[in-house]
């Protein structure tokens, strides 16, 4: 999952970036409203964290402009102004949640995960498919109750596929959502990740969770169980 942070305070920006990277997200940052708006418009993020008091273009304006051009990723507002009028204004502009500064990193992480899940139409932190179970809070995957050893990138791939079920995802799309913008990418790596994931998830080849569609990409093929707990997609 790839996140965009727009925050003008350099220390806080760096802290947030490092913290969320450590939590397994690809994180791009922008230091003002204009640059942030541009990045959100040009690159495929899964979510944005936007400070309201930004130079050049305010957080509210950035959100409004994104929503005007039908950019739909969830947006979490960071605001120093804890006033309700500001919160209402932010959410009316198109944001999905708000967090008042200062905040605990754990709270930010919980909100981020909740928003990402919600936008994928998943209500519980743990997503289950037959014998495979993915815990988005702990970023762990278990197959038949035994936990798999996955690298950070392998987890990112499976999480992205699971969060976009029934959708064909090209290698480029996968790359864009698991790497940051200035990362030196090699789309062949994706094939390697997917190959390794198949072996780990489905060692005897009976489930076939990741389907390859030639020349188009991959698709997560398993149906989620406990579907009664699933809320409608946003």
Partner 1 sequence: MTMTGLVLDKGFRNNVKQAQRENLRTQIYALLATAELDDAEYLKLPQQNMEPRLNISESTLHARVITANNKIVWQSESMLNTKIPFTDNYKVGEFSFFDISTNEKSFTSVNFAAVWLTVEGEDTYIFQVAENKNVFDSQIYLFRKNLWGWLAGVSFILIVIQTLILRWGLKPLRHVAEDLIKIEKGKEKNLSGEYPKELTPLTNNLNQLLNSSQQQLTRYRDALGNMAHSLKTPIAVLQGIINTTSSKDKNVALEQLGTINNIVEYQLQRAATVGRLQLSEATALQPVIQKIINTLQKVHKDKNIDIKLDTPSNIAIKVDQGDLYELFGNLLENAFKWSNKKVSITAQQLSEKVQIIIEDDGPGINENEKNRILLRGQRADQDTPGHGLGLAMVNDILLLYRGEIAIKDSEMGGAKIVIKI
227 contacts partner 1 (rule: CB under 8 A): no
Residues whose CB falls within 8 Å of the CB of residue 26, separated by 6 or more in sequence, listed in order: 1, 2, 3, 156, 177, 178, 179, 180, 183
231 contacts partner 1 (rule: CB under 8 A): yes
Closest distance to partner 1 from the beta carbon of 199 (Å): 35
Tokens 């947006």: give the residue. 75
Closest distance to partner 1 from the beta carbon of 92 (Å): 7
61 contacts partner 1 (rule: CB under 8 A): no
72 contacts partner 1 (rule: CB under 8 A): no
Residues whose CB falls within 8 Å of the CB of residue 145, separated by 6 or more in sequence, listed in order: none
Q: Do residues 53 and 100 make contact, with C-beta atoms less than 8 angstroms apart?
A: no
Q: Which of 56, 65, 67, 81 lies at the binding interface for partner 1 (CB under 8 A)?
A: 81
Please name which of 36, 34, 56, 65 lies closest in space to residue 48, comparing C-alpha atoms.
Answer: 36
Contact set for partner 1, span 21-50 (CB under 8 A):
none
Q: Do residues 24 and 152 make contact, with C-beta atoms less than 8 angstroms apart?
A: yes
67 contacts partner 1 (rule: CB under 8 A): no
Please name which of 125, 122, 121 lies closest in space to residue 137, comparing C-alpha atoms.
Answer: 125
Q: Which of 85, 166, 182, 184 lies at the binding interface for partner 1 (CB under 8 A)?
A: 85
16 contacts partner 1 (rule: CB under 8 A): yes
**Site of interaction with partner 1 (CB under 8 A):** 9, 11-12, 15-16, 19, 53, 80-85, 87-88, 91-92, 96-98, 100-105, 114, 118, 123, 231, 234
């Amino acid at each position: 999952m790839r996140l965009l942070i727009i925050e003008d305070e350099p220390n806080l920006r760096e802290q947030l970036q490092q913290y969320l990277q450590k939590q397994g997200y690809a994180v791009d940052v922008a230091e003002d409203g204009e640059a942030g708006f541009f990045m959100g418009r040009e690159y495929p993020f899964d979510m944005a964290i936007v400070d309201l008091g930004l130079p050049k273009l305010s957080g509210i304006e950035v959100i409004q402009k994104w929503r005007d051009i039908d950019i739909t990723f969830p947006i979490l507002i960071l605001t120093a102004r804890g006033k309700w009028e500001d919160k209402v204004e932010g959410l009316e502009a198109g944001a999905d949640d708000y967090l008042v500064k200062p905040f605990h990193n754990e709270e930010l992480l919980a909100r981020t995960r909740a928003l990402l899940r919600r936008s994928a139409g998943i209500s519980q932190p743990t997503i289950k498919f037959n014998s495979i179970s993915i815990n988005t809070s702990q970023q762990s995957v278990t197959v038949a109750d035994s936990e798999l050893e996955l690298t950070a990138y392998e987890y990112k791939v499976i999480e992205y596929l699971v969060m976009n079920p029934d959708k064909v995802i090209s290698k480029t799309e996968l790359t864009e959502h698991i790497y940051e913008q200035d990362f030196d990418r090699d789309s062949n790596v994706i094939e390697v990740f997917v190959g390794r994931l198949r072996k780990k998830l489905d060692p005897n080849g009976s489930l076939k969770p990741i389907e390859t569609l030639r020349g188009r990409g991959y698709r997560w093929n398993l149906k989620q169980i406990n579907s009664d707990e699933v809320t409608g997609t946003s």
